[in-house]
Chains A and B, each alone.
Chain A
Amino acid sequence: MDLTLSDEQRLLRESADRFVAETFTSEHRKKAANDPLGYSPAIWKQFAELGWLALPISEAHGGLGGGAIEIGLLMEAFGRGLVSEPFLSTVVIGAALVAECGTEAQQQVILPKVAEGALTLAFAHSERAARFDLGHVDTTATKTVDGWLLSGSKIAVLDGASANQIIVSARVANANGASGKLCLFLVPAGAPGLTLRDYARLGGGRGCNLDLRDLQLPADALLGDGQDVLPAIETVVDRAMAALGAEAVGIMQTLLDTTLEYTKIRKQFGRPLSANQVIRHRLADVAMQVDEARSMALRAALMANAEPVARSRAASGAKAKIGKCARFVAEQAVQLHGAMGVTEELDIGAYFKRLLAFDTLFGGSAHHYRRHAALSGRAHA
């Protein structure tokens, strides 16, 4: 039992904190908010040079073989700076799906490019009718003479418009038409039959909805060998939720620090806000929830390689708890900043919105408490 950081991990955290503090300033964020790409390719190149894009990729595929703890350290730093580079989409989710499902040949082609910063990925999985059910996919893939034909619609595709390749999930139609195995397909950007409605994402970055109309793909667009990929998607999404939890902790810590400073400086009725017990107790609650969120994010990371039920319970528990803490911390940060907290003149609102986005991504608190209860064998949950 050891929860202390190794020297390498400490160095990683220090360099990430320093880079984020220097690069992701308030001014940078305001510029990025109007950028149609949603992130800076120059900064992405620096991420690659720092080795961050290679971090979780196996050494055999040009990576550093890091794990969920290292990802968490980076993500927490990214949260502090509201980083909008497509790290989650490309590295945490995209590369992990390729590593979990792809053939050796596909891994050899894709993973080193991700590690070098030469390839960005997105994951198109969620559908409107599915809510947060990872197994509910209505998009279909039909086998043709020389490949595949995909049809369906996807929502909440993070960084979809800027991605070089989109990993799309679809059910392979059986001979009798019934829905069959869930599979993943590599769709290149700009493929004919792909309609993309790009939007500025709540809290920074870009997202999009996709329509696939008889999208033709070659045979080798299928990721892997045609096995059902739901278990792999669950693995990758559980780990992504742990990473997002760490990012949320960084965001919450920044909100706490900023709000603490503000309540010390802001004077009303001749004394600082922080002299009032009601404010002090509220901040104590905020601090406590930030700390609980920190514990849960760490726990989910430490359980990222556990057997599936334990891993999913830890991931859903973390997502549910951190989501609940995040909403409280965000709302209190705005409340304690008074009317200024409701304006775009302060950064508070941007952090607030990123936490709101965090809570809804892959399902909110209520969904994950239900999933946790179901995984725990609590009937009818």
Chain B
Amino acid sequence: MNLTFSAEERAFEKEVRDYIAESLTPEMKRATALTPSVFSDPDIGMAWQRALHKKGWGAPGWPVDHGGPDWTPAQRWIFEAECARAGVPNVNVMGVKMVGPVIIGFGSPEQKNFYLPRILSGEDYWCQGYSEPGSGSDLSSLKTRAVRDGDDYIINGTKIWTTHAHHANRMFALVRTNEGERQQDGISFILIDMKTPGITTRPILTIGGDHEVNQVFFDDVRVPVANRVGEEGKGWTYGKYLLEFERGSGIASAKLREALKTISDLAGSEVTGRAIEDPDIAIRMSEVEVDIDALEMTELRVLSALQTGQNPGAVSSLIKLRVSEIRQAVTRLGVDVIGQDGLAVEPARPFYRLNHEPAIPEELLPVVPEYLNGRAYTIFGGSSEIQRDIIAKMVLGL
């Protein structure tokens, strides 16, 4: 057992570090640091996606014949860790990490040929049509209907919490094509062009003041049957496959460590009146750091199992739960570190393109919005309560 990487892996680490150093512009870095929502806006995010694609690193998890770089689990770890350390933009995952793997796994050859290159290049920008106003954690109760009419489906209903629907040109959605015995039956997985007549989008501001999510309405929206992925009525299976990606995809510890470092640097600086000298802040900082150490070790245990071809087991729910809680702990600490400067609300967005001088130092602007928006971490992608249900059932066999 050891924690050290091989000479080849070290060389790869240097290659990644060097490429990031030459491609990541100061503008991208600053914009990322000043973005208090989950994902970077597309101008920033897609610029980075294009830079990665140019190098052949646009889709680390994809098989090599679809444009993946054919990395080992250790290489993926190193790549993610270097990206986190450098503070690269948070590319919206809906394309590369969410719909991409479903199309690769279950799509037709035509779908693969058409969509995958456009995801890699950033030409298409995707959003996810899963949740509905009446279907949150109980996702399979969804009611948006797709009724067959010749070679088309006619879709009526509404989707909500749709991240970046206002930027996206495509949506992958779960829609009801049949009434099955169980509510999971009769759901299909459909790819929708957002410019199709009958689609309207309503912005939803989160409590941090950011426009990241939306509600999308479908009013007799005509979508070709050819846009269905896989079999009719099997959408739940594909959607669940994708949710596993959403839960387990990450190597989250490196990013959390950087987020803590940002707060720690603020706490050590005059800009917060050296908050670190408050022993309560100092100790909570250590508590969070130790929690990140534990998470990192768990992620490495999973990585090591994957490296040797073993099944890491049902740990993705454990990881999702801890990641969301630790993220919130970091943002909570941030609010306490900046103290009374947290009172200043800056409603304009984005913070990196304000046309006025903000009332508080620029680097403090995202701290409170990050905490407020971050309450969603334990809610989206299956709330913490759902994760505990899953752990009880899948890990503990209850």
Contacts and interface: CB of A to CB of B under 8 A. Distances in A.
Interface of A: 1-6, 9, 69, 260, 263-264, 274, 277, 280-281, 283-285, 287-288, 291-293, 295-296, 298-299, 302-303, 314, 317, 320-321, 369-370, 372-373, 376, 378-381
A299 B1 CA distance: 11
B354 interface: no
18 contacts: A1-B5, A1-B303, A2-B2, A3-B305, A4-B308, A4-B310, A6-B1, A274-B398, A277-B389, A280-B392, A285-B388, A295-B297, A299-B294, A299-B297, A317-B290, A369-B286, A379-B282, A381-B283
Contact of A292 (B1, B286, B322, B389): B322
Interface of B: 1-5, 9, 74, 77, 276-277, 279, 282-283, 285-287, 289-291, 293-295, 297-298, 300-301, 303-305, 307-308, 310, 315, 318, 321-322, 385, 387-389, 391-392, 395-398
Nearest to A324: B287
B289 to A, nearest CB: 7
A369 B304 contact: no
A118 B296 CA distance: 42
Given A280-B392, A296-B294, A321-B291, 7 more contacts: A1-B300, A287-B318, A303-B3, A317-B286, A321-B293, A378-B285, A381-B283
A380 B279 contact: yes
A376 to B, nearest CB: 6
A280 B389 contact: yes
Contact of A288 (B77, B287, B321): B321
A3 B198 CA distance: 54
Contacts of A9: 1
Nearest to B267: A378
Nearest to A256: B396
Given A69-B1, A369-B290, A379-B277, A287 B395 contact: yes
A287 B391 contact: yes
Nearest to B317: A284
A372 B286 contact: yes
Nearest to A370: B283
A264 B393 CA distance: 12
A234 to B, nearest CB: 18
B304 A3 contact: yes
Q: Which of B289, B290, B392, B396 has the most CB of A within 10 A?
A: B290
A378 to B, nearest CB: 4
Q: Which 9 A-B pairs give the minimum distances between C-beta atoms?
A: A295-B297, A3-B304, A280-B392, A378-B282, A284-B391, A381-B282, A284-B388, A373-B286, A317-B290
B289 A317 contact: yes
A9 B304 CA distance: 16
Nearest to A69: B1
A321 B307 contact: no
Contacts of A264: 398
Contacts, number: 138
B297 A296 contact: yes
Contacts of A293: 294
A55 to B, nearest CB: 15
Contacts of A69: 1
Contact of B304 (A4, A6, A299, A373): A4
Contacts of B298: 291-292, 295
A321 B286 CA distance: 10
A285 B384 CA distance: 11
Contacts of B395: 284, 287
Contacts of B387: 284
Given A1-B4, A291-B318, A381-B286, A321 B294 contact: yes
A280 B389 CA distance: 7
Given A277-B389, A280-B389, A302 B2 contact: yes
A288 B3 contact: no
A288 B283 CA distance: 22
Contacts of A284: 387-389, 391-392, 395-396
Nearest to A274: B398
Contact of A380 (B277, B310, B321): B277
A299 B77 CA distance: 17
A295 B387 CA distance: 20
Contacts of B293: 295-296, 299, 314, 317, 321
A73 B293 CA distance: 21
Contacts of B282: 373, 378-381
Contacts of B305: 3-4
Contacts of A376: 285-286, 289
Contact of A373 (B285, B297, B321): B285
Nearest to B290: A317
B304 to A, nearest CB: 4
Contacts of B4: 1
A4 B396 contact: no
A302 B388 contact: no
Contacts of B297: 295-296, 298-299
Contacts of B2: 1-2, 302
A288 B391 contact: yes
Nearest to A3: B304
Nearest to B264: A378
Contact of B287 (A1, A291, A299, A369): A369
A287 B396 contact: yes
Contacts of B289: 317, 372, 376
Contacts of A292: 291, 294-295, 298, 322
A2 B304 contact: yes
Contacts of B303: 1
A373 B285 CA distance: 8
B283 A2 contact: no
A372 B290 contact: yes
Contacts of B276: 378-379
A287 B393 CA distance: 12
Contacts of B295: 292, 295
B318 A288 contact: yes
Nearest to A302: B3
